Amino acid sequence: MRLKGLVVILLTAGVMEAHHSIAAEFDTSKSVAVKGTVCSAEFSNPHSHLFVNVKADNGKAETWIIELSGTAQLKAAGVIVKDVFNTGDPIQIEAYPARTLAIPDAEATLFVGGCPTFLANVIRKGHAKELTLANGKQIRFDDANLAVTVVRQ
């Protein structure tokens, strides 16, 4: 019986560790506006990720990795991901910035989420608060209540 309880604890510990507090990785006291084009997206649980190409104010290219809710929450809110996030579509995002750069000063061409990221690009990461898509649809993320709301269709 003791062994069975220990196995359950060990199995659930990995799952509990895998999902983190937003404040651990993202600065929830700040908000950034990200405006760019969708490069690609990866959808999974507990989080999905949107990869966005952005031209920064200084003229340099940046690739943003935007953490979203998982596919289960998106689907429950009526967001059909394959129909909503299309490569090349313009997008505006309000996000909590990561506490550190995802990959500071990338030194070589690499692919981030299937997006080519070139020399001197900065890879940044944020957690979505609200998205505005090319068709005007707005999606809000409420992490405190684990909710996704489509504000405007």
Residue 20 identity: H
Alpha helices, DSSP H, located in 2-122: 2-18, 22-25, 71-76, 81-84
Distance between CA 51 and CA 137 in Å, rounded?
A: 18
Residue 9 placed within a domain: no
Residue 11 placed within a domain: no
Residue 7 placed within a domain: no
Distance between CA 19 and CA 72 in Å, rounded?
A: 15
Residue 51 has a CB neighbour count (10 Å cut-off) of: 23
pLDDT at residue 142 in the model: 84
- Supply angle C-alpha 66, 117, 45, rounded to 5: 30
Q: What domain range is 148 assigned to?
A: 22-152
Averaged over successive runs of 10 residues, the pLDDT of the chain (153 residues) comes to 43 43 86 90 87 85 86 86 84 89 52 56 80 88 77 65
Phi, psi of 6 (to 5 degrees): -65, -40
Residue 45 placed within a domain: yes
Collect contacts of 140-148 with beta carbons under 8 A, ≥24 apart.
Answer: 141/68, 141/69, 143/22, 143/69, 146/69, 146/73, 147/73, 147/77, 148/69, 148/73, 148/74, 148/76, 148/77, 148/79
CATH of the domain at 147: 2.40.50.140
Based on the structure, what is the number of domains in the chain?
1
Distance between CA 97 and CA 37 in Å, rounded?
A: 18
